Amino acid sequence: MNHPTSSLPLYSNLLSLVQTVSSRFSPSRRLWFGGPALLLLLMFNLAPAAAQGALQGTWRINEDGHLGILYLDQHSSGSLFGSISNSTSYEPVRGFYSSAEGTFVLVRGSYSAPSRAYVGRYRAPFRKGRISAPATLFGTIYALDASGGATPQNNQFPFAAVPVTHPYPGLTLLPPPQSSEFCLQTHYTFVNRPAEFGDTWTVPLQFNTPQGSSCPTGEFTGQLSGDFIRGSYSPGSGLVVFVRTMSSVGFMPNQLFVGQARSDTELVVNRIIDGRFYALDSWGGASSQRLTYDWLAQ
Protein backbone atom coordinates (compact mmCIF):
# COMPACT_ATOMS: atom_id res chain seq x y z
CA MET A 1 0.00 0.00 0.00
CA ASN A 2 1.35 3.42 -0.91
CA HIS A 3 1.11 6.30 1.56
CA PRO A 4 2.09 9.45 -0.39
CA THR A 5 3.05 12.50 1.67
CA SER A 6 3.51 15.14 -1.02
CA SER A 7 0.69 17.65 -1.56
CA LEU A 8 -0.57 18.86 -4.93
CA PRO A 9 -1.51 22.44 -5.90
CA LEU A 10 -5.10 21.31 -6.43
CA TYR A 11 -5.50 20.42 -2.77
CA SER A 12 -4.03 23.75 -1.63
CA ASN A 13 -6.59 25.58 -3.73
CA LEU A 14 -9.40 23.40 -2.44
CA LEU A 15 -8.33 24.01 1.16
CA SER A 16 -8.36 27.78 0.70
CA LEU A 17 -11.84 27.65 -0.80
CA VAL A 18 -13.20 25.37 1.93
CA GLN A 19 -11.78 27.63 4.65
CA THR A 20 -13.36 30.67 3.02
CA VAL A 21 -16.79 29.06 2.83
CA SER A 22 -16.50 27.49 6.29
CA SER A 23 -15.62 30.85 7.87
CA ARG A 24 -19.10 32.11 6.99
CA PHE A 25 -20.60 29.69 9.51
CA SER A 26 -20.28 30.09 13.29
CA PRO A 27 -18.72 27.12 15.14
CA SER A 28 -22.14 26.08 16.42
CA ARG A 29 -23.71 26.11 12.97
CA ARG A 30 -20.83 24.21 11.43
CA LEU A 31 -21.30 21.58 14.10
CA TRP A 32 -24.84 20.83 12.95
CA PHE A 33 -25.30 21.83 9.35
CA GLY A 34 -23.68 21.07 6.01
CA GLY A 35 -23.20 23.49 3.16
CA PRO A 36 -22.16 24.03 -0.44
CA ALA A 37 -18.55 23.20 0.37
CA LEU A 38 -19.40 19.52 1.02
CA LEU A 39 -17.78 18.05 -2.07
CA LEU A 40 -14.65 20.16 -1.67
CA LEU A 41 -14.42 19.31 2.01
CA LEU A 42 -14.56 15.58 1.36
CA MET A 43 -11.96 15.86 -1.38
CA PHE A 44 -9.65 17.73 0.99
CA ASN A 45 -10.14 15.22 3.82
CA LEU A 46 -9.27 12.37 1.45
CA ALA A 47 -6.16 14.15 0.18
CA PRO A 48 -2.69 12.67 0.77
CA ALA A 49 -1.05 13.62 4.03
CA ALA A 50 0.93 16.84 3.70
CA ALA A 51 3.16 16.43 6.75
CA GLN A 52 3.95 13.88 9.40
CA GLY A 53 2.36 14.37 12.80
CA ALA A 54 2.55 12.82 16.26
CA LEU A 55 0.28 9.89 15.34
CA GLN A 56 1.80 9.24 11.91
CA GLY A 57 3.26 5.77 11.47
CA THR A 58 2.87 2.11 12.36
CA TRP A 59 1.91 1.02 15.87
CA ARG A 60 1.64 -2.27 17.74
CA ILE A 61 -1.83 -2.18 19.32
CA ASN A 62 -3.21 -4.21 22.20
CA GLU A 63 -7.02 -4.21 22.10
CA ASP A 64 -8.30 -5.72 25.33
CA GLY A 65 -5.73 -8.52 24.99
CA HIS A 66 -6.03 -8.89 21.20
CA LEU A 67 -2.87 -7.90 19.34
CA GLY A 68 -2.69 -6.20 15.96
CA ILE A 69 -1.04 -3.54 13.82
CA LEU A 70 -2.39 0.02 13.54
CA TYR A 71 -1.25 2.19 10.64
CA LEU A 72 -2.11 5.91 10.70
CA ASP A 73 -1.69 8.65 8.11
CA GLN A 74 -2.05 12.05 9.79
CA HIS A 75 -2.91 15.08 7.67
CA SER A 76 -1.70 18.51 8.75
CA SER A 77 -5.35 19.45 9.45
CA GLY A 78 -5.62 16.68 12.05
CA SER A 79 -7.55 14.21 9.87
CA LEU A 80 -6.53 10.57 10.34
CA PHE A 81 -6.78 7.68 7.87
CA GLY A 82 -5.32 4.22 8.08
CA SER A 83 -6.01 0.60 8.99
CA ILE A 84 -5.99 -2.00 11.74
CA SER A 85 -4.94 -5.53 10.89
CA ASN A 86 -4.29 -8.81 12.67
CA SER A 87 -3.94 -12.44 11.69
CA THR A 88 -7.59 -12.69 10.62
CA SER A 89 -8.76 -9.24 9.48
CA TYR A 90 -7.85 -5.94 7.85
CA GLU A 91 -10.14 -2.93 8.33
CA PRO A 92 -9.91 0.78 7.50
CA VAL A 93 -9.97 3.48 10.18
CA ARG A 94 -10.64 7.22 9.95
CA GLY A 95 -10.90 10.03 12.47
CA PHE A 96 -9.26 13.14 13.85
CA TYR A 97 -6.53 14.28 16.25
CA SER A 98 -6.77 17.55 18.20
CA SER A 99 -3.23 18.55 19.09
CA ALA A 100 -4.39 21.15 21.65
CA GLU A 101 -6.48 18.56 23.53
CA GLY A 102 -4.05 15.73 22.93
CA THR A 103 -7.14 13.65 22.10
CA PHE A 104 -7.88 11.53 19.05
CA VAL A 105 -10.95 9.65 17.87
CA LEU A 106 -11.19 6.85 15.29
CA VAL A 107 -13.93 4.69 13.82
CA ARG A 108 -13.12 1.25 12.44
CA GLY A 109 -14.77 -0.80 9.72
CA SER A 110 -17.08 0.26 6.93
CA TYR A 111 -16.99 4.03 6.43
CA SER A 112 -20.79 4.15 6.42
CA ALA A 113 -21.35 1.63 9.26
CA PRO A 114 -18.29 1.26 11.53
CA SER A 115 -18.28 -1.49 14.15
CA ARG A 116 -15.92 0.10 16.68
CA ALA A 117 -14.81 3.53 17.83
CA TYR A 118 -11.61 4.51 19.64
CA VAL A 119 -11.15 7.54 21.90
CA GLY A 120 -7.67 8.05 23.23
CA ARG A 121 -4.79 10.29 24.07
CA TYR A 122 -1.24 10.64 22.77
CA ARG A 123 1.66 10.53 25.24
CA ALA A 124 5.02 11.72 23.89
CA PRO A 125 8.15 9.59 24.33
CA PHE A 126 9.99 10.14 27.61
CA ARG A 127 13.64 9.80 28.56
CA LYS A 128 15.43 10.87 31.73
CA GLY A 129 18.72 9.24 32.52
CA ARG A 130 18.25 5.49 32.31
CA ILE A 131 14.47 5.74 32.47
CA SER A 132 12.64 5.91 29.15
CA ALA A 133 9.23 5.18 27.65
CA PRO A 134 8.11 5.14 24.01
CA ALA A 135 5.37 7.27 22.52
CA THR A 136 2.03 5.75 23.51
CA LEU A 137 -1.57 5.84 22.37
CA PHE A 138 -4.05 4.74 25.03
CA GLY A 139 -7.76 4.97 25.69
CA THR A 140 -11.10 3.20 25.32
CA ILE A 141 -12.71 1.14 22.55
CA TYR A 142 -16.48 1.53 22.17
CA ALA A 143 -18.29 -1.33 20.44
CA LEU A 144 -21.04 -0.04 18.15
CA ASP A 145 -22.55 -3.45 17.40
CA ALA A 146 -22.14 -7.15 18.16
CA SER A 147 -19.47 -7.59 15.48
CA GLY A 148 -17.45 -4.91 17.27
CA GLY A 149 -17.77 -6.72 20.59
CA ALA A 150 -20.93 -5.24 22.16
CA THR A 151 -22.74 -7.51 24.62
CA PRO A 152 -25.57 -6.93 27.12
CA GLN A 153 -22.92 -6.75 29.85
CA ASN A 154 -20.38 -4.43 28.26
CA ASN A 155 -19.54 -2.33 25.19
CA GLN A 156 -16.29 -0.64 26.23
CA PHE A 157 -12.73 -2.02 26.38
CA PRO A 158 -9.21 -0.61 26.93
CA PHE A 159 -6.49 -0.30 24.32
CA ALA A 160 -2.87 0.81 24.13
CA ALA A 161 -0.39 1.14 21.26
CA VAL A 162 3.33 1.82 20.87
CA PRO A 163 5.55 2.31 17.79
CA VAL A 164 6.19 -0.88 15.87
CA THR A 165 9.87 -0.78 16.91
CA HIS A 166 8.80 -1.63 20.49
CA PRO A 167 7.18 -4.76 21.99
CA TYR A 168 3.42 -4.91 22.38
CA PRO A 169 2.21 -2.90 25.40
CA GLY A 170 0.56 -4.56 28.38
CA LEU A 171 -2.94 -3.70 29.63
CA THR A 172 -4.64 -3.75 33.00
CA LEU A 173 -8.06 -5.21 32.29
CA LEU A 174 -10.73 -3.84 34.62
CA PRO A 175 -14.31 -5.04 35.09
CA PRO A 176 -16.93 -2.79 33.45
CA PRO A 177 -18.96 -0.46 35.66
CA GLN A 178 -22.27 -1.87 36.83
CA SER A 179 -25.63 -0.19 36.32
CA SER A 180 -29.20 -0.80 37.41
CA GLU A 181 -30.59 0.68 34.18
CA PHE A 182 -32.29 -1.87 31.94
CA CYS A 183 -34.08 0.08 29.21
CA LEU A 184 -33.72 3.34 27.39
CA GLN A 185 -36.71 5.53 26.72
CA THR A 186 -37.63 5.80 23.06
CA HIS A 187 -37.76 9.62 23.06
CA TYR A 188 -35.42 12.15 24.63
CA THR A 189 -34.71 15.84 24.26
CA PHE A 190 -31.07 16.53 23.43
CA VAL A 191 -29.63 19.62 25.17
CA ASN A 192 -26.24 21.16 24.45
CA ARG A 193 -24.08 23.32 26.69
CA PRO A 194 -24.99 26.97 25.86
CA ALA A 195 -21.75 28.31 27.32
CA GLU A 196 -19.82 26.58 24.54
CA PHE A 197 -21.82 27.76 21.54
CA GLY A 198 -23.72 30.86 22.62
CA ASP A 199 -27.21 29.47 22.13
CA THR A 200 -29.28 26.56 23.38
CA TRP A 201 -30.46 23.64 21.26
CA THR A 202 -33.28 21.38 22.28
CA VAL A 203 -33.61 18.83 19.52
CA PRO A 204 -35.26 15.40 19.47
CA LEU A 205 -33.28 12.20 20.07
CA GLN A 206 -35.13 9.00 19.21
CA PHE A 207 -34.10 5.38 19.71
CA ASN A 208 -35.92 2.74 17.68
CA THR A 209 -37.03 -0.37 19.57
CA PRO A 210 -35.38 -3.51 18.09
CA GLN A 211 -37.72 -6.18 16.79
CA GLY A 212 -38.68 -8.61 19.53
CA SER A 213 -37.78 -6.21 22.34
CA SER A 214 -40.04 -4.12 24.55
CA CYS A 215 -37.61 -1.21 24.73
CA PRO A 216 -34.38 0.05 23.12
CA THR A 217 -31.50 -2.15 24.22
CA GLY A 218 -28.56 -3.88 22.54
CA GLU A 219 -27.93 -2.68 18.97
CA PHE A 220 -30.16 0.18 17.88
CA THR A 221 -30.80 2.77 15.20
CA GLY A 222 -32.57 6.09 15.57
CA GLN A 223 -32.47 9.79 14.81
CA LEU A 224 -30.88 12.88 16.33
CA SER A 225 -32.36 16.10 15.00
CA GLY A 226 -33.42 14.18 11.89
CA ASP A 227 -29.98 12.64 11.28
CA PHE A 228 -29.41 8.87 11.27
CA ILE A 229 -27.73 7.28 14.30
CA ARG A 230 -26.68 3.71 15.03
CA GLY A 231 -24.93 2.14 17.99
CA SER A 232 -25.31 -0.03 21.07
CA TYR A 233 -26.59 0.10 24.63
CA SER A 234 -25.32 -2.33 27.27
CA PRO A 235 -27.71 -2.51 30.23
CA GLY A 236 -24.98 -4.14 32.34
CA SER A 237 -22.83 -1.00 32.23
CA GLY A 238 -25.50 1.58 31.39
CA LEU A 239 -23.31 2.87 28.56
CA VAL A 240 -24.85 4.26 25.36
CA VAL A 241 -22.59 4.71 22.31
CA PHE A 242 -23.61 5.75 18.81
CA VAL A 243 -22.37 7.50 15.70
CA ARG A 244 -24.30 10.25 13.96
CA THR A 245 -24.28 10.74 10.19
CA MET A 246 -25.24 14.31 9.36
CA SER A 247 -27.63 14.09 6.42
CA SER A 248 -26.48 17.41 4.99
CA VAL A 249 -22.87 16.21 4.74
CA GLY A 250 -22.77 12.70 3.30
CA PHE A 251 -22.74 9.01 4.09
CA MET A 252 -19.93 8.81 6.69
CA PRO A 253 -20.46 9.37 10.43
CA ASN A 254 -19.37 12.81 11.64
CA GLN A 255 -19.75 12.47 15.42
CA LEU A 256 -19.35 9.78 18.09
CA PHE A 257 -21.56 10.00 21.21
CA VAL A 258 -20.73 8.29 24.50
CA GLY A 259 -23.11 8.64 27.43
CA GLN A 260 -24.15 7.07 30.70
CA ALA A 261 -27.86 6.22 31.13
CA ARG A 262 -29.17 6.76 34.64
CA SER A 263 -32.11 7.89 36.72
CA ASP A 264 -32.07 11.31 38.33
CA THR A 265 -34.45 11.53 41.27
CA GLU A 266 -33.51 15.14 42.04
CA LEU A 267 -34.80 16.29 38.66
CA VAL A 268 -37.66 13.79 38.78
CA VAL A 269 -36.53 12.45 35.42
CA ASN A 270 -37.00 8.74 34.86
CA ARG A 271 -34.06 8.36 32.50
CA ILE A 272 -31.32 10.75 31.45
CA ILE A 273 -28.16 10.23 29.40
CA ASP A 274 -25.15 12.47 29.82
CA GLY A 275 -21.63 12.28 28.50
CA ARG A 276 -19.40 13.58 25.74
CA PHE A 277 -19.41 13.51 22.00
CA TYR A 278 -16.37 13.53 19.76
CA ALA A 279 -16.17 15.12 16.32
CA LEU A 280 -14.78 12.79 13.65
CA ASP A 281 -14.13 15.51 11.08
CA SER A 282 -14.19 19.28 10.69
CA TRP A 283 -17.84 19.30 9.64
CA GLY A 284 -18.70 17.49 12.85
CA GLY A 285 -16.90 20.15 14.92
CA ALA A 286 -13.26 18.92 14.99
CA SER A 287 -10.30 21.27 14.81
CA SER A 288 -6.72 21.37 16.03
CA GLN A 289 -8.06 23.14 19.14
CA ARG A 290 -10.77 20.67 20.15
CA LEU A 291 -12.97 17.75 19.20
CA THR A 292 -14.64 16.97 22.55
CA TYR A 293 -18.03 18.38 23.60
CA ASP A 294 -20.52 17.77 26.43
CA TRP A 295 -24.09 16.61 25.90
CA LEU A 296 -27.21 15.74 27.86
CA ALA A 297 -30.46 14.00 26.87
CA GLN A 298 -33.51 13.85 29.11
User: How far is C-alpha 38 from the geometric centre of its chain's CA atoms?
Assistant: 20
- What pLDDT digit, counting tens, does each position of 113-132 carry? 999 999 999 999 988 888 98
- What pLDDT digit, counting tens, does each position of 7-64 carry? 333 333 433 443 343 433 333 333 343 333 333 333 334 333 333 589 999 999 999 9
Q: Using CA atoms, how far apart are residues 22 and 281, in angstroms rounded to an integer?
A: 13
* HSE-CB for 82 with a 13 A CA cutoff: 21
> What is the reported pLDDT for 194?
63
Q: What ranges in the chain are assigned the alpha helix state H?
A: 9-22, 27-32, 38-45, 194-197
CA 30-31-36 angle, to 5 degrees, is 35
- What pLDDT digit, counting tens, does each position of 157-194 carry? 999 999 999 999 999 877 766 666 677 888 999 887 66
Q: Using CA atoms, how far apart are residues 289 and 31, in angstroms rounded to an integer?
A: 14
Question: Domains of the chain (ranges plus CATH)?
Answer: 9-163 (2.40.128.30), 187-297 (2.40.128)
Q: Using CA atoms, how far apart are residues 58 and 166, in angstroms rounded to an integer?
A: 11
User: How far is C-alpha 198 from the geometric centre of its chain's CA atoms?
Assistant: 24
- Phi/psi of residue 213, nearest 5 degrees: -120, 150
Q: Using CA atoms, how far apart are residues 256 and 243, in angstroms rounded to an integer?
A: 4
0.85 surpassed by pTM: no
Radius of gyration of the chain (CA): 19
